[in-house]
Amino acid sequence: MFWLVKVLTTGMGETASDFLAHRLGPVPAVGVSGVLLVLALAAQFRSGRYRPAVYWSAVVMVSVFGTVTADVVHVGLGVPYLASTAAFLVALGVIFAAWRRVEGTLSIHSVFTARREAFTGRRCSRRSRSARRPATWRPARRGSGGSRQDWFSPR
């Protein structure tokens, strides 16, 4: 289910990006989606626990902003797809290298500090200082990690 949701958020990012670019123009679309991304990420980092609406809003805005930015690089600036793909690949490699160098791991299963959360985007519980487990598609069971009843809950 997780990957299905990721595919859908990516598709939504593509269509929302196209809508914004055609409605507002490419550069304003980057600005609007960038502001919405910053707001979504700020809400995610301020949240004291996993909140599905906040988390998935940030995921969607990453998709929208990434898509509109890539489109502006290609269509607006005329950078060929091969060149922009290579540049994004190098940037991703630099981020993974920095993450590995700073944290000593690329694991998403050991997120228990705000710094690690910044690298992974996964919500950590600062109150208990314990790592959050990966999300599953199963509904939460009573007594299995809190009283919240959300669809994507900790195992």
Q: Which residues span the domain enclosing 106?
A: 2-120
Q: Would residue 61 count as lying in a domain?
A: yes
Q: What is the pTM of this model?
A: 0.67
Q: Would residue 130 count as lying in a domain?
A: no
Q: Would residue 148 count as lying in a domain?
A: no
* Neighbour count for residue 17 (Cβ, 10 Å): 24
Q: Would residue 33 count as lying in a domain?
A: yes
* Neighbour count for residue 83 (Cβ, 10 Å): 12
**Considering its fold, how many domains does the chain have in total?**
1
Q: Would residue 9 count as lying in a domain?
A: yes
Q: Would residue 139 count as lying in a domain?
A: no
Q: Would residue 152 count as lying in a domain?
A: no
Q: To which residue do tokens 């993974």 refer? A: 96
The average pLDDT across 106-123 equals 65
**Percentage of residues in the chain with pLDDT exceeding 70?**
69
Q: Would residue 60 count as lying in a domain?
A: yes
pLDDT tens column, 23-82: 999 999 999 999 999 999 999 888 878 889 998 999 999 999 999 999 999 988 999 999
Sign of CA dihedral 68, 69, 73, 77: positive
